[in-house]
């Protein structure tokens, strides 16, 4: 398959795809001889697929539920009671809707945290998107008793897992230790909410006499897992916590739209974390707090927040935030054939002037999984 006539970095190119990888990127032929499966991308720009590194896909079902509430009220009064009523069928439908929304806005992979994972895995398989599904753990981690069975079912459907203790304030010391040990034994990443609100920090200080990241260090989890930790939010950090995160090269996932809507904060220390050695990614969070799954919108918000609170328009330029949102992937030979076509003219136009509606086609692993209806 050839995608011909696409604009890439202000050059017009033809992109040959072989299987699930990009075989070549060459200057466009003026009058291409198109095969039936080729893609006419003339007048469109091509970008690597976006990676949504923190989401709760089934929460498309809860979009608009408990709007304009602080996080603790939102969770306890609205979200957690509603989740008690979920069935496999509802989780499947909510996940499928989320997958389709992500594909329609250029996201080709997502990293999730929820429950009823086999139902989610079925929706992921049907949609064609790529995903890692996190088994949500609460309390002492009783959910881990079913890990082998859940992993078997999800693996058969093509969805790898992570273990996802919800947070330091909803998971006990035993639950956190069990989660970390299971990650190490099974070779799985840990996906966790960290330092999302000042209340979380204050409660941790009161209960453990240390901050959230210092608590994980005390439990030995940072040394045990290191780069295999994916931490959402990371808003309220001390200098010591930034150092700990950087020393262990942990992945921090910035979810600016959710943080703003929930009033969690906006002074995300992106540059400090990067300088310390952390891996930086972006996410939408769930549809009940974002309230959409548009990673193009997330890029703009993330970049503008850094410029705004620092008072410096030169920080986090468009090309840098795009690289963060794509996990550093590029359109080049040997790279995964995970990409999207858009009416955006260039990187600046994509980040600052468009939204997910600009996406015309999305490809995952060399297969076209979304085409905008004309």
Query: What pLDDT, on a 0 to 100 scale, did the predictor assign at position 35?
Result: 82
Report the distance separating Cα 110 and Cα 298, nearest Å: 14
Query: What pLDDT, on a 0 to 100 scale, did the predictor assign at position 30?
Result: 75
Report the distance separating Cα 203 and Cα 192, nearest Å: 17
Phi-psi region of 322 (alpha: psi -120 to 50; beta: other; left: phi over 0): alpha
Query: What pLDDT, on a 0 to 100 scale, did the predictor assign at position 182?
Result: 98
Assess contact for 79 and 137: CB atoms under 8 A.
Answer: no
Report the distance separating Cα 180 and Cα 318, nearest Å: 36
Strand partners, 13: 6, 27
Render pLDDT for 17-57 as a digit per residue (tens, 0 to 9): 999 999 999 999 877 676 888 999 999 999 999 999 999 99
Query: Considering only CA atoms, which of 253, 250, 222, 223 is closest in space to residue 235?
Result: 253
Report the distance separating Cα 150 and Cα 192, nearest Å: 19
Q: DSSP character for 78?
A: I
Report the distance separating Cα 269 and Cα 273, nearest Å: 6
Phi-psi region of 285 (alpha: psi -120 to 50; beta: other; left: phi over 0): left
Asked if residue 291 has a cis previous peptide bond (ω within 30° of 0), the answer is yes
CA dist 372 → 55, 297, 343, 369 (Å): 24, 18, 11, 10
Query: What pLDDT, on a 0 to 100 scale, did the predictor assign at position 67?
Result: 93
DSSP one-letter string for 177-205: HHHHHHHHHHT--EEEEES-SHHHHHHHH
Domains in the chain (CATH in brackets) are 2-48+330-371 (2.30.40.10), 50-325 (3.20.20.140)
Render pLDDT for 142-180 as a digit per residue (tens, 0 to 9): 999 999 999 999 999 999 999 999 999 999 999 999 999
Query: Considering only CA atoms, which of 63, 120, 106, 139 is closest in space to residue 282?
Result: 106
Sign of CA dihedral 193, 194, 199, 204: positive
Question: What residue spans of 269-360 are helical by DSSP H?
Answer: 270-276, 287-290, 295-310, 318-325, 347-353
Q: Residue written as tokens 């808003």? A: 235
Q: In what order do the strands lie in the sheet with 279-282?
A: 50-55, 107-114, 130-137, 161-165, 190-194, 229-233, 251-254, 279-282
Q: Which residues contact 188 (CB under 8 A, 6 or more apart)?
A: 161, 162, 163, 182, 228
Question: Which residues in the chain land under pLDDT 70?
Answer: 32, 34
With vertex at residue 132, the alpha carbon angle to CA 166 and CA 351, rounded to the nearest 5 degrees, is 95
Q: DSSP character for 209?
A: S
DSSP one-letter string for 260-290: HHTT--S---HHHHHHHT-EEEE----HHHH
- How many other CB atoms are found less than 10 A from the CB of residue 182? 18
Query: What pLDDT, on a 0 to 100 scale, did the predictor assign at position 373?
Result: 86
């Amino acid at each position: 398959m050839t995608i011909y006539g696409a604009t890439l970095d202000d050059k017009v190119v033809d992109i040959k795809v072989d299987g699930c990888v990009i075989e070549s990127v060459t200057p466009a032929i003026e009058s291409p001889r198109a095969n039936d499966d080729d893609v006419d991308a003339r007048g469109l720009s091509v970008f690597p697929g976006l990676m949504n590194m923190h989401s709760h896909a089934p929460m498309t079902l809860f979009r608009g539920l408990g709007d304009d509430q602080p996080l603790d009220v939102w969770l306890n009064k609205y979200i957690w009671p509603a989740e008690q009523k979920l069935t496999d069928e509802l989780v499947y439908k909510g996940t499928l809707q989320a997958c389709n929304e992500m594909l329609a806005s250029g996201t080709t992979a997502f990293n999730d945290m929820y429950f009823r994972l086999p139902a989610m895995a079925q929706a992921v398989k049907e949609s064609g998107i790529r995903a890692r599904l996190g088994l949500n753990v609460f309390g002492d981690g009783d959910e881990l008793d079913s890990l082998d069975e859940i992993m078997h079912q999800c693996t058969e459907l093509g969805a790898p897992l992570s273990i996802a203790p919800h947070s330091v304030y909803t998971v006990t010391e035993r639950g956190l230790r069990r989660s970390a040990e299971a990650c190490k034994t099974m070779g799985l990443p840990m996906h966790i909410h960290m330092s999302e609100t000042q209340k979380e920090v204050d409660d941790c200080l009161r209960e453990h006499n240390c901050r959230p990241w210092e608590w994980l260090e005390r439990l030995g989890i940072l040394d045990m897992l290191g780069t295999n930790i994916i931490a959402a939010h990371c808003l309220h950090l001390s200098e010591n916590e930034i150092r700990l995160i950087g020393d262990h090269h942990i992945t921090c996932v910035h979810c600016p739209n959710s943080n703003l809507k929930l009033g969690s904060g906006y002074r995300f220390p992106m540059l400090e974390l990067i300088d310390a050695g952390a891996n930086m990614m972006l996410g939408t969070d769930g549809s009940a707090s974002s309230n959409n799954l548009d990673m193009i919108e997330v890029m703009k918000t993330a970049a503008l927040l850094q410029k705004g609170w620092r008072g410096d328009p030169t920080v986090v330029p468009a090309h840098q935030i795009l690289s963060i949102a794509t996990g550093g992937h590029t359109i080049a030979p040997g790279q995964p054939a995970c990409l999207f076509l858009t009416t955006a003219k260039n990187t600046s136009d994509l980040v600052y002037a468009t939204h997910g509606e600009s996406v015309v086609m999305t490809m995952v692993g060399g297969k076209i999984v979304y085409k905008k209806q004309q």
